[in-house]
Amino acid sequence: MISVTPPVPAAPKPLRALALRGVARRFERNWALRGVDLDVAPGEAVALAGPNGSGKTTLLRVAATLLRPTRGGGAVFGHDLVADAEAARARVGLLAHRTGLYEDLTPFQNLAFASRMLGLGLDRPRIDAMLERVALSDAAHRRVRGLSSGMRRRLALGRLLLAPPALLLLDEPFASFDAAGLELLESVARDVSAGGGSVLVATHDLERAARIVDRTVWLEEGRIAARPEAEGASPGVPRLVGR
């Protein structure tokens, strides 16, 4: 009789907040991404750096399910970005260049709409608390059109925080926040990581990113690459690691 060794159960794969495998994305004839592999662990905050046009924003949009990869694929907390996009999307929040606010509505109305669309219903206490948190209580019933750029950015951040995402994607977040907004943004990013969520931040400002990230990934011409001047990086800038 042949003795059969009982099959050893395979070790469960560690759950990744974001796992991208060979992600490529083409816009007409131009490849914005050319096969990116990237893992972000739960609780980890990663900076995505690189020159303009290197594919940082495209990568964030693929991770957010706003763009389908032309080749390759990925998952957010185990949910496939294409086949299970709805579940992946439910775990992602993106703070993009543009605020996505309705300029003819007030901050309160913008947050009330977001609250309903997030499935929370009209949660007035939560909205009022959020307006206070982003220091917009006094402007709650003024049209967004009349708010400053910094106030709009804070309002967009408040909208994101109505239901904090497990994977927070930030696209050049340090450019247009005022001082109060930057402080709030940094505390939010740290809290997402501390709560078991993850942060991926596309930025040119590595000095400031160093305050919230664990490591930096360099993207160049749609591929993850070693940063040429990595050796001379400023003190305090996290180590540069691919994948």
Partner 1 sequence: MRAPPSGVVGPLASAPRAERRVGESTRVLALAWKDVLVEARTRANFGAVVAFAALMLVLFGFALGPDQEALTQAAAGVLWITVIFSSVLAFGRAYQFELEDGALDVLLLYPGDRRSLFLGKFLGALAFVLAVEAAVVPMAGVLYRLPILGALGRLVPILALGTVGVVALGTFYAGMASRVRAREVLLPLLLFPMLAPLVIAAVKGTHVALVGDPVAAQVNWLGLLAGFDAIFLAAAYLLFGAVLED
Candidate list 35, 73, 100, 150; residue touching partner 1; CB under 8 A: 100
* CB 203 to partner 1: min, Å: 15
* CB 188 to partner 1: min, Å: 6
* CB 6 to partner 1: min, Å: 31
Alpha-carbon span 106 to 145, nearest angstrom: 9
* 188 is a contact residue toward partner 1 (CB under 8 A): yes
Q: Can you read off the two tokens belonging to residue 119?
A: 């499935």
* 184 is a contact residue toward partner 1 (CB under 8 A): yes
Dihedral over alpha carbons 79, 117, 55, 35 (to 10 degrees): 20
Cβ 183 vs Cβ 175: under 8 Å = no
**Nearer CB in complex with partner 1: 213/219:** 213
* CB 196 to partner 1: min, Å: 4
Candidate list 51, 53, 121, 146; residue touching partner 1; CB under 8 A: 121
Q: Which residues bind partner 1 (CB under 8 A)?
A: 15, 17, 42, 45, 61, 64-68, 77-78, 86-87, 89-94, 96-105, 109, 113-114, 116-121, 133, 143, 159, 161-166, 184, 186-188, 190-197, 211-214, 236
